[in-house]
Chain A
Amino acid sequence: MTQRVITADGLAKLVTEWAKKGAVYAPVKAGSKDWTEFRRVTSLKETDFSRVNTKQSAKGLLFPQREVMLRFKDGKSEEPAAPEEQVILGIRPCDAAAIAFQAKFFTGQGQTDPYFKARLDRTTFIGFACNTPAETCFCTAVGGSPSGTRGLDLLLTDIGGKYLAEPVTDKGAALIADMPDPAIGDLERKLAEKCAEQMPQAIDTAALKRRLDSGFEHPVWDELNLACVNCGACTFLCPTCHCFDVTDEERKGRGARIRVWDSCQFCIYSQHASGHNPRQTARSRYRNRVMDKFKYTVDMVGELSCVGCGRCIIECPAGIDVRETVEVLTRQLPEAAEKK
Chain B
Amino acid sequence: MINTKSLEGSQMLEINFGPQHPSTHGVFRMNVFLEGEKICALKPVMGYLHRNHELIAENLPYAAVMAYTDRLDYFNSMANNFGYALAVEKLADIEAPERAAYLRVIMAELARIVNHLMLIGFLLNDLGAFFTPVLYAFREREKILDIFEEVSGSRMMCNYFRFGGVKRDVSAETLAAIKKIVAGFPAFLEEFEALLTENEILCMRCQNVGVLPADLAVNAGITGPVLRASGVNYDLRKVDAYGLYDRFDFKVPLGKKGDVYDRYYVRVLEMRESLKILEQALAKIPQGDILNKKALPFLKAPRNFKPAVGEAYGRIESPKGELGYYLVSDGTPQPWRYHVRAPSLINLTVLEDMCVGQKVADAIIILGSIDIVLGETDR
Do A and B actually bind? Answer: no
- Please list the residues of chain B having a beta carbon within 8 angstroms of any beta carbon in chain A: none
- Please list the residues of chain A having a beta carbon within 8 angstroms of any beta carbon in chain B: none
